[in-house]
Chains A and B, each alone.
Chain A
Amino acid sequence: MTGPSGNGPFGGPGFTVPVLRLGDILLVTLQGELHDGMAEQLQQDITDRIAHTRVTGVVIDISGVDIVDSFLGRVLAEIAAGAGLLAARTVLAGMRPAVAITLVELGLTLPGLRTALDVERAMELLTAGERQAEGSP
């Protein structure tokens, strides 16, 4: 039986999650298996990027993620909390229905984390919020 000791198809040490900058928004796309170490590294990367690029929003696309357990859920909530302290808002986009059902049963409803059905709506949510903020006295 082949073991997991190699890096495998889903990355391992050295694998990085793509973080793209689109105007004032960082787009982070999670896909497939995310090792715990990678998730923690991602948290640090995103926080650094926000501080250096001064973006005002972060979209985390999890449409390619087939499970979110309490560890990944905690990392996502912490990314959003950290981004909030750096004046950026986070939207979690594209959660699969089976993942949503499972998270509720697990007892992890991620309060405080904004969600959108897909990346497009997440971007709209962030840019609409910005216009509102600019318009307010």
Chain B
Amino acid sequence: MRASRHAAPASLPIGSDADLAWVRQQVRQAAAELGFGLVQQTKLVTAASELARNTLVHGGGGHVEITPLDAGPSPGLRLAFVDAGPGIRDLDQAMTDGYTSGGGLGLGMSGAKRLVQEFEVDSRPGEGTRVTVTSWATVVPPTRPGS
């Protein structure tokens, strides 16, 4: 298991508008602490916002697990959005740009996937959905000797 020096994995509830705002704030803070650049932070927070809203709107609420990963060469942040909702019936369709079942623009899943480095969906009809995404902070070039 990849342990973290920065912070323990945190679980935040997703049950309301205010929770979405809180999740965005906490993801932003965790990414900043891990040394993510501004663009990487913005992409990850935006992806988190899309996925948390899916959890709320389509999954009927749930939670997000935020896990800092700093055992590898570059620190990363893993986010797992979990709900016990109806599940995604047609995953290919859900991942298509422009497909929406919730009155949005249909960019939530496909857009979020483009904003992160790793994206995994585990969904079972009637049981729920777990979407796990991971982003890595840009690899910082090693400091030159003597600098």
Bound-state CA distance A130–B42 (Å) is: 36
Q: Is the CB of B115 within 8 A of A106?
A: yes
Cβ-based interface call for B38 (8 A): yes
**Size of interface on A: residues with Cβ below 8 Å to B:** 31
Q: Specify the chain A residue showing the minimal Cβ separation from B28.
A: A66
Interface SS of chain B = helix
Alpha-carbon separation in the docked complex, A12 to B10 (Å): 23
CB pair A106–B17 under 8 Å, yes or no, is no
Contacting residues of chain A (79-117) with chain B, CB-CB under 8 angstroms:
96-99, 101-102, 105-108
Q: How far is the CB of B19 from chain A (nearest CB, A)?
A: 5
B19, B46, B97: the one contacting A69 at CB < 8 Å is: B46
- B49 A33 Cβ-Cβ under 8 A: no
Q: Is the CB of B17 within 8 A of A36?
A: yes
B-side interface residues toward A, CB under 8 Å? Answer: 10, 13, 16-22, 24-25, 28, 38-39, 41-43, 45-46, 49-50, 53, 97, 104-105, 107-108, 110-112, 114-115
Residues of A at under 8 Å CB distance from B?
1, 3-5, 7-8, 10, 12, 33-37, 66-71, 73-74, 96-99, 101-102, 105-108
User: Lowest 9 A-B CB distances belong to which pairs?
Assistant: A4-B22, A106-B111, A98-B42, A69-B49, A35-B17, A33-B21, A70-B107, A4-B18, A98-B39
